[in-house]
């Protein structure tokens, strides 16, 4: 629609438009802009000139000023904001660039022409001290303006307003902003979104009936719609939403048209156009269209239609809007889908995309253009429901779903209920047409049947500085240097990101203890939780093995379905940096199978209504994973000390025997020799040879997630009890973790925690972990530490060195700073939970991987490794 | 941890004069992270032994700011118990006069070769007893070395790399000390402090008179200066004066040559494709880019690598910061990974992956395939990888072992072609193969190449 008017008091423009003010200097553009638009909506080239040169009239700065203005406008349009360009814009070539920008961001360009006389302009310009224009400037501008006026429509403006006198300009009272036709954000459903019908009238009626609608099939009208709950919590009649391609190929296109036209005109349904509908319109409009791809059938079926009916079909299709933005922008319906940058926008390109989607420009072996699967790269917030490309089954991919299940090709007609997100299908009564290429054919993938497999991660979402929002904590910033480190570690050493749905957070130790001879002690852990206002904690034995995340699926099919992995077995065991725990694939397979058998035996899968589980666990012995670390570091230190000490002591003894005053030294080195012996004994506790699966022990302590659920709302005691049931399934391999619930502030109960710790550590254990009784605990400042470790006296010897407990060393070691470690633990904890929540909510692989990648990146922050 | 030097030349107590340390006392000198004690277990006219005992403060060692980062990146470390660079420092601190050949009371002793016996406890030797002998025997030492199991409880863990060493030689004390000073850290091949130019001066000074003729002088220099390229070369050049500097990795010359052949083959193929924009995926230090930038037909050259450090090196070697702005725009380096989709990789005529795929776990190859063939989708893709069959020609390579420790797999020609054919079909490319390097009639070339052309 385009028109010129000069005397209206009330005008309206699209809510998302690029408004170009056009008029000579002094025509009153800035005043006009200020009257009707917010200051932030106006991008003035004068202002930009001032910004780059300190002088808004400096013509030398024009090129830079325009570049800046262009940049500002582009950023605003990208973010979907109405923008007004305040510049003379009197030459077509100066407008061209803005039109191009509007097209790039699929925004409607609007021209507002302030076509006032040179006289008026000159008088105004003379009143301004800062503006000195030559006498020829304004007349020149006016002549350029007049020359171009006729061509404005061809230039691409959708709306043109022109005022020819200051009086007309001041007559304008309001400029209303109209929502775009595609904006139906106020509709919150419930909807039943229906795939490509293609003239399958019987199936459409059956599907609607199945969904609870009452249809008068004879008269193609809707009698009654079922009630349902919208996403805003209000009960309304359900509304069918057709994704287009109502016609062609099938046996009863006119009936389908009639029913949908009736429903839409009564406000009972919504419909977006498909490419077949658009082609039918062109045919009806007398355009030269080839009668093929099923159009020939529709034309034949319409042979007896009255001219009035055909006219109503034309009006109906012509009136369809390319796509709809529904439910506060959380739902988008378009025939061929729609990428994020085009949602809620209007342009030829948007319309084209909605009808046809994207192609790569290549032709496949069936002579058809190769489709580019835009959904693979989709990472928008809105769910996109679409059709156009027939698929064997409707599956979510990156929050998008193709519900064209090829009814006309003998498949099924599918509906997606929203907001429930449940799928309903009715099978085709027969195959009405043969597809040009096999359904589900995908040039780039051997396993296209599964959309999960198709997911990819865009490195742009990982590189550089990233800010991740988490539901249980603040936003978390990943610094660029840490992303750099994580990229290398992740891509060179980690397992397939499809498996990597979680990484465990680091854990802080207690504050240093002042108990003589101790660096860590439960008293400090209890103090921390008491000060955080926690009433009850759980104390769990800390096993000295390696942290392991274990994912087990019931079978390979479940692994493909839930994780999108193909030919990668039924599970994984990975370390806290995402590396495969086992180097021996066969051993890993056997290990996972053992856990799977235990899960099956104990009825886990049925009880949790799932076909997979992700467990957080400790895998022992330590020596199984840390063998090279042991040999190169721990045992090496022991060996160096053990080899040297006897020689040192012998030489000191000899000196003392020869009356050299070296007694004190001798004493000191005898003590050191004993300390190194204790050190060797300490690490030996955690080592045993592994010759077969039976030599491993797996001690799970969290059930992290199963299908569609996480368990962070369950207290730790629940986790321990459920895990005990699993452990009963394989007592050889699976190991129960001793635990005790302790009332904070209760002297007797606290004493039991201390005794438990002393018992564990005196037997050579690593120590214990103290956690709030509930998994997720916050105070007024946010999350509190989800766990604190309290390590045993002897264990710490292998952390801080053989001689750490000499009082002069302890003194210094107690001066350790925990704040960095604790902040890191909270950030990693929040990201880990976020990652799990995203995974079970079936968010995209990229959304999940960003969190896991973030944890790995955080791990590269410099923190004292002994904490 | 302990260094003892024993003299048996009558009167053996002369050792005390030479070392400037009184036999009846226990003396101490301060080190950067602890103390060294000097005492005499025996001091008679027939036998006199001076002991230098390290007393490293393990807590201070980790906490001190100036120390090299290695002490922080591990929990516990062996430094307090070994005879390594701290021992060298202690020698320089405690015996500096003796090492410099000064003796106040008996100057005539300085140049007298003495029958000396040295004991070193827990000397870490990278290269084992063989290297230990190669280092000391050419200098006239009789070497005995004892090692032990890493842990007696777990004999399967093998033996430790620490040796209790006895060295016997008739030699001037000053040379003995200088040689120990240089060779102890060389054995360890690690130092607790940063190496700078000052270290080079020290090596040249302490090595005078014996290092020039040592058969392992290159290794000693390299290790002493801790394998830092330019400094080592400069030092080597000065050390060898008229001789030409030798390639640092003499043993791998064959491999180096093969790599050059490979890059030249890739370059020649690229020239036949009319590609004007090329991306080197896994460019490492940018060797191929350096080769390609000589050709005007390549208007845009980009290198990507997952290792940020390699890219920094590549940038240096390509002298990117010295190029003018047009030349700069022609060559770009990207940090990225082939396991992720990357918009930056789109729009090139040709992509090259030289010895890259074998560094990925096989299950991750599907991601690489999609990144390259589905998303970047250049006209041509050239991929090279080692030919596993050819390994039979490398005598020292055990069957089933890989040529490089980071190789995740090595394919035969048939395996490579099976993969390549499948990829070509799936992504609608055509593919052909050729060997690289000297072709063995039965085993093929040492490396193999596939060139994919988009249909």
ipTM of the complex: 0.80
Verify whether the Cβ–Cβ distance B63 to A804 is below 8 Å: no
CATH of domain A544-621+689-736: 3.30.470.30
Residue A816, pLDDT score: 87
Indicate the DSSP class of residue A258: H
* Cβ neighbours around B326 below 10 Å, total: 7
A665 touches chain B (CB under 8 A): yes
pLDDT of residue A448: 41
Q: In chain A, which residue's Cα lies nearest the Cα of B455?
A: A362
**Whole-angstrom Cα distance, residue A660 to residue B50?**
12
Contacts of B157 in chain A (CB under 8 A): 630-631, 635
Give phi and psi for A58, each to the nearest 5.
-75, 100
Rounded CA-CA distance A647/B120 in Å is: 9
- Do the Cβ atoms of B422 and A445 come closer than 8 Å? no
Tell me which of A379, A465, A485, A491 to substitute to probe the interface with B (most B C-beta atoms closer than 10 Å). A491
Which residues of chain A have a CB within 8 Å of the CB of B34? none
Instruction: Kindly state whether A659 is in contact with chain B, defined as any CB-CB distance less than 8 angstroms.
Output: yes
Q: Scan for tokens 């420092």, then name that residue.
A: B89
A443–B contact, CB cutoff 8 A: yes
- Among residues A325, A443, A313, the alpha carbon closest in space to that of A376 is found at A443
How many CB atoms neighbour CB B96 within 10 A? 13
Q: What is the pTM of this model?
A: 0.76
The pLDDT of residue A339 is 93
Q: Which of B47, B119, B122, B362 to probe the A interface (max A CBs under 10 A)? A: B122
Which domains does chain B show, CATH number per domain?
2-194 (3.30.1610.20), 253-454 (3.40.50.150)
Say which of A459, A496, A662 has its CB closest to residue B336. Answer: A459
**3 state DSSP class of B29:** strand
List of chain A residues whose C-beta atoms are within 8 Å of the C-beta of residue B338 = 491
For residue A637, give the chain B residue with the closest CA. B78
How far apart are the C-alpha atoms of A548 and A553, rounded to whole Å? 16
Domain boundaries, chain A: 10-178, 183-454, 457-508+818-867, 512-533+745-817, 544-621+689-736, 628-684
Q: Does residue A742 contact residue A752 with C-beta atoms inside 8 Å?
A: yes
Give residues with Cβ within 8 angstroms of A292, minimum separation 6.
Answer: none
- Tokens standing for residue A579: 């590396």
CB-CB neighbors (< 8 A) of A658 in chain B: 40-43
- A379 to chain B, any CB pair closer than 8 A? The answer is no
Ranges assigned E (strand) in B147-222: 162-171
User: Where is A779: in which H helix or E strand?
Assistant: strand A778-779
8 A C-beta contact, residue B383 and residue B452? yes
CA dist A587 to A421, A584, A696, A705, A745, Å? 40, 5, 11, 24, 47
CA B337/CA A287 separation, integer angstroms: 50
Q: Which pLDDT tens digit goes with each residue over A79-101?
A: 999 999 999 998 888 899 999 99
Q: Which chain B residue's Cα is nearest to A643?
A: B122
Under an 8 A CB cutoff, do B39 and A665 touch? yes
Query: pLDDT tens, B31-81?
Result: 877 899 999 999 999 999 999 999 988 877 766 544 444 344 456 788 889
User: CB-CB: which of B4, B153, B343 is closest to A651?
Assistant: B4
Q: How far is CA B169 from CA A345, B110, B140, B144, in A?
A: 89, 16, 6, 12
Whole-number Å distance between alpha carbons of B162 and B128:
9
Kindly state the greatest CA–CA separation across chain A: 127
The answer to whether the Cβ–Cβ distance between B150 and A633 falls below 8 Å is no
Under CATH, which architecture does the A10-178 domain have? 3-Layer(aba) Sandwich (3.40)
Question: Which stretches of chain A drop beneath a pLDDT of 50?
Answer: 1-3, 443-450
Residues of A in contact with B75 (CB under 8 A): 633, 798-801, 865-866
A367 touches chain B (CB under 8 A): no
Q: Determine the residue among A366, A446, A454, A651 to mutate to test chain B binding: the one whose Cβ has the most chain B Cβ atoms within 10 Å.
A: A651
Task: Give the model's pLDDT for residue A404.
Answer: 94
Rounded to whole angstroms, the Cα distance separating A356 from A336 reads 6
Contacts of B119 in chain A (CB under 8 A): 647
Rounded Cα distance, A470 and A830, in Å: 7
**Residues of chain A positioned with their CB less than 8 A from the CB of B453:** none
Residues 6+ apart with CB under 8 A from B293: B301, B318, B330, B331
3-state secondary structure of A804: coil
Which residue intervals of B241-299 are DSSP H helices?
253-272, 287-292
The radius of gyration computed from the CA coordinates of chain A, to the nearest angstrom, equals 36
DSSP structure string for B348-397: -SEEEEES-GGGS-GGGHHHHHIIIIIII--SEEEEEEEBGGGGGG-TTS
List of chain A residues whose C-beta atoms are within 8 Å of the C-beta of residue B337: 459, 487-488, 490-491
Within 8 A by CB and 6+ apart from A75, the residues are: none
Kindly state the greatest CA–CA separation across chain B.
Answer: 91
Which residues touch A230 (CB under 8 Å, ≥6 apart)? A188, A189, A190, A236, A327, A419
**List of chain A residues whose C-beta atoms are within 8 Å of the C-beta of residue B81:** 637, 640-641, 644-645, 676
Residues in chain A with CB shorter than 8 Å from the CB of B376 are none
Residues in contact with A163: Cβ distance below 8 Å, sequence separation at least 6, in sequence order: A6, A113, A114, A115, A116, A169, A172
Q: Using CB atoms, which residue from B75, B164, B427 is nearest to A866?
A: B75
d(CA A316, CA A338): 22
CA angle A845, A848, A854 (to 5 degrees): 130
Cα–Cα dist A144/A167, whole Å: 23
B26: pLDDT strictly greater than 80:
yes
Q: Is the pLDDT of residue B239 over 80?
A: no
A698, A735 contact by CB (below 8 A): yes
Task: For chain A, positions 706-735, list CB contacts with chain B under 8 A.
Answer: none
Q: Give the model's pLDDT for residue A3.
A: 46
Omega before A190 within 30 of 0, i.e. cis: yes
Q: How far is CA A470 from CA A111, A497, A828, in A?
A: 43, 19, 11
Q: Which CATH number fits domain A183-454: 3.40.50.20, 3.30.1180.20, 3.60.21.10, 3.40.50.180?
A: 3.60.21.10
**In the A/B pair of chains, how many CB contacts fall below 8 A?**
215
Kindly report whether the peptide bond that precedes residue A621 is cis, defined as omega within 30 degrees of 0: yes
Contact B115, B7 (CB under 8 A): yes
Interface contact A803, partner B, CB < 8 A: yes
- Which pLDDT does position B235 carry in this prediction? 46
Of A457, A648, A662, the CB nearest to B341: A457
- CB pair distance less than 8 Å for B306 and A492: yes
Which SS3 state, helix, strand or coil, does residue A634 take?
helix
Contact A776, A808 (CB under 8 A): no
Q: Which of A178, A287, A302, A171 is nearest to A248 (CA)?
A: A302
Residue with tokens 């007049």: A146
Neighbours of A525 (CB within 10 A): 31
- CA B34 – CA B54 distance, rounded (Å): 8
Are domains A10-178 and A544-621+689-736 of this chain identical in fold?
no
Q: B291 Cβ partners below 8 Å, 6+ apart?
A: B263, B264, B267
């Amino acid at each position: 629609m385009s028109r010129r008017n000069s005397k209206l008091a009330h005008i309206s423009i699209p809510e998302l438009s690029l408004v170009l003010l056009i008029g000579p200097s002094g025509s009153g553009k800035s005043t006009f802009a200020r009257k009707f638009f917010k200051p932030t909506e106006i991008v003035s080239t004068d202002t930009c000139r001032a910004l780059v040169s300190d002088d808004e009239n400096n013509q030398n700065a024009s090129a830079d000023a325009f570049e800046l203005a262009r940049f500002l406008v582009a950023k605003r349009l990208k973010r979907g904001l109405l923008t007004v360009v305040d510049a003379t814009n009197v030459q077509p070539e100066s407008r061209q660039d803005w039109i191009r920008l509007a097209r790039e961001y699929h925004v409607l360009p609007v021209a507002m022409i302030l076509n006032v006389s040179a006289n008026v302009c000159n008088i105004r310009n003379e009143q301004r001290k800062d503006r000195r224009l030559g006498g020829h400037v304004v007349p020149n501008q006016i002549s350029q303006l007049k020359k171009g006026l006729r061509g404005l429509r061809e230039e691409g403006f959708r709306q043109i307003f022109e005022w020819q006198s200051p009086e007309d300009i001041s007559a304008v009272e309001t400029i209303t902003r109209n929502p775009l036709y595609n904006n139906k954000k106020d509709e919150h459903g419930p909807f039943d979104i229906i795939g490509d019908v293609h003239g399958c009238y019987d199936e459409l009626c059956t599907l609607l009936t199945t969904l609870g609608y009452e249809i008068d099939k004879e008269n193609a009208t809707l009698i009654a719609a079922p009630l349902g709950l919208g996403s805003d919590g209000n009960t309304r009649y359900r509304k069918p939403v057709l994704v287009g391609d109502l016609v062609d190929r099938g046996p009863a296109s006119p009936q389908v048209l009639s029913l949908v036209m009736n429903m839409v005109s009564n406000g009972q349904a919504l419909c977006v156009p498909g490419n077949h509908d658009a082609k039918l319109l062109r045919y009806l409009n007398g355009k030269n269209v080839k009668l093929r791809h099923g159009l020939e059938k529709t034309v034949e079926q319409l042979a007896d239609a009255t001219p009035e009916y055909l006219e109503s079909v034309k009006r109906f299709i012509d009136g369809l809007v390319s796509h709809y933005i529904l439910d506060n922008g959380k739902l988008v319906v378009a025939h061929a889908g729609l990428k994020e940058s085009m949602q809620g926008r209007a342009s030829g390109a948007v319309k084209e995309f909605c009808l046809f989607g994207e192609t790569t420009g290549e032709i496949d072996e069936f002579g058809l253009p190769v489709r580019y699967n835009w959904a693979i790269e989709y990472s928008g917030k809105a769910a996109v429901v679409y059709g156009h490309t027939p698929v064997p089954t409707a599956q979510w991919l990156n929050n998008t779903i193709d519900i064209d299940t090829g009814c006309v090709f003998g498949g099924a007609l599918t509906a997606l209920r929203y907001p429930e997100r449940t799928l309903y299908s009715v099978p085709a009564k027969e195959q009405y047409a043969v597809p040009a290429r096999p359904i589900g054919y995908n040039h780039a993938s051997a396993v296209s049947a599964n959309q999960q497999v198709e997911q990819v991660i865009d490195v742009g979402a990982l590189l550089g500085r990233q800010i991740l929002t988490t539901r249980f904590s603040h936003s978390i910033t990943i610094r660029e240097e840490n992303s750099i480190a994580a990229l290398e570690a992740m891509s060179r050493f980690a397992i397939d990101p499809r498996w990597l749905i979680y990484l465990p957070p680091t854990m802080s130790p207690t504050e240093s203890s002042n108990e003589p001879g101790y660096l860590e002690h439960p008293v400090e852990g209890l103090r921390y939780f008491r000060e955080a206002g926690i009433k009850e904690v759980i104390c769990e034995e800390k096993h000295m093995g390696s942290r392991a995340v274990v994912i087990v699926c019931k079978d390979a099919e479940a692994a493909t379905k839930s994780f999108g992995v193909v030919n990668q077995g039924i599970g994984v065991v990975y370390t806290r940096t995402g590396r495969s725990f086992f180097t021996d694939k066969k051993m890993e397979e056997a290990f996972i199978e053992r856990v799977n058998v235990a899960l099956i035996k104990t009825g886990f899968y049925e009880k949790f209504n799932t076909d997979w589980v992700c467990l957080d666990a400790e895998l022992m012995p330590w020596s199984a994973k840390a063998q090279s670390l042991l040999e190169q570091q721990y045992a090496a230190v022991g060996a160096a000390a053990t080899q040297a000490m006897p020689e040192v002591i012998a030489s000191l003894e000899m000196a003392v025997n020869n009356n050299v005053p070296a007694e004190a030294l001798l004493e000191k080195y005898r003590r050191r020799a004993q300390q190194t012996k204790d050190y060797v004994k300490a690490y030996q506790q955690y080592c045993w040879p592994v010759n077969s699966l039976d030599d491993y022990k797996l001690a799970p302590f969290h059930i992290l997630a199963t299908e569609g659920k996480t368990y962070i709302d369950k207290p730790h005691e629940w986790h321990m009890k459920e895990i005990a049931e699993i452990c009963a399934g394989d007592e050889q391999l699976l190991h129960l973790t001793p635990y005790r619930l302790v009332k904070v502030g209760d002297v007797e109960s606290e004493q039991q925690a201390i005794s438990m710790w002393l018992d564990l550590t005196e037997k050579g254990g690593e120590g214990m972990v103290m956690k709030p009784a509930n998994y997720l605990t916050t105070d007024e400042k946010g999350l509190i530490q989800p766990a604190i470790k309290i390590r045993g006296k002897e264990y710490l010897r292998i952390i801080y060195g053989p001689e750490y407990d000499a009082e002069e060393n302890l003194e210094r070691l107690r001066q350790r700073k925990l704040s960095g470690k604790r902040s890191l633990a909270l950030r990693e904890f929040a990201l880990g939970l976020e990652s799990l929540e995203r995974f079970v909510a079936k968010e995209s692989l990229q959304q999940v991987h960003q969190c896991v990648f973030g944890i790995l990146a955080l791990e590269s922050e410099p923190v004292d490794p002994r904490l | 941890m302990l260094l003892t030097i024993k003299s048996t030349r009558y009167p053996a107590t002369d050792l005390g004069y030479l070392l400037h340390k009184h036999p009846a006392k226990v003396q101490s000198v301060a080190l950067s992270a602890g103390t060294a004690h000097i005492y005499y277990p025996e001091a008679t006219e027939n036998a006199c032994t001076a002991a230098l005992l390290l007393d490293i403060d393990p807590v201070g060692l980790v906490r001190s700011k100036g120390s090299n980062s290695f002490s922080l990146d591990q929990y516990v470390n062996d430094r307090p118990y070994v005879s390594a660079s701290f021992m060298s420092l202690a020698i320089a601190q405690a015996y500096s006069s003796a090492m410099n050949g000064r003796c106040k009371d008996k100057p005539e002793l300085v140049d007298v070769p003495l029958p000396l016996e040295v004991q070193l406890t827990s000397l870490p030797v990278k290269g084992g007893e063989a290297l230990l002998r190669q280092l000391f025997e050419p200098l006239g030492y009789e070497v005995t070395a004892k090692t032990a199991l890493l842990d007696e409880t777990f004999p399967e863990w093998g033996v430790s790399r620490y040796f209790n060493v006895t060295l016997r030689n008739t030699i001037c004390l000053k040379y003995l000390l200088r040689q120990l000073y240089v060779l102890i850290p060389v054995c360890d091949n690690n130092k607790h402090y940063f190496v700078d130019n000052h270290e080079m001066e020290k090596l040249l000074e302490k090595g005078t008179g014996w290092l020039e003729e040592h058969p392992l002088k290159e290794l000693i220099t390299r290790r002493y200066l801790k394998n830092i390229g330019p400094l080592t070369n400069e030092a080597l050049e000065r050390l060898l004066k008229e001789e030409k500097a030798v390639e640092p990795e003499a043993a791998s010359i064959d491999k180096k040559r093969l790599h050059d052949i490979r890059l030249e083959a890739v370059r020649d193929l690229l020239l036949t494709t009319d590609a004007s924009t090329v991306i080197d995926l896994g460019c490492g230090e940018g060797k191929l880019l350096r080769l390609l930038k000589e050709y005007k037909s390549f208007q845009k050259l980009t290198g990507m690598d997952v290792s940020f450090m390699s890219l920094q090196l590549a940038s240096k070697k390509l002298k990117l910061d010295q190029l003018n702005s047009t030349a700069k725009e022609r060559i770009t380096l990207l940090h990225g990974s082939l396991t992720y989709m990357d918009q930056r990789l789109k729009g090139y005529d040709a992509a090259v992956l030289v010895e890259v795929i074998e560094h990925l776990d096989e299950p991750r190859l599907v991601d690489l395939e999609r990144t390259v063939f589905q998303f970047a989708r250049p006209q041509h893709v050239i991929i090279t990888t080692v030919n596993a069959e050819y390994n039979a020609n490398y005598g020292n390579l055990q069957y089933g072992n890989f040529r490089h420790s980071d190789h995740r797999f090595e394919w035969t020609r048939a395996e490579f072609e099976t993969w390549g054919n499948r990829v070509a079909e799936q992504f609608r490319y055509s593919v052909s193969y050729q060997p690289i390097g000297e072709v063995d009639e039965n085993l093929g070339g040492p490396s193999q190449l596939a060139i994919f052309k988009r249909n």
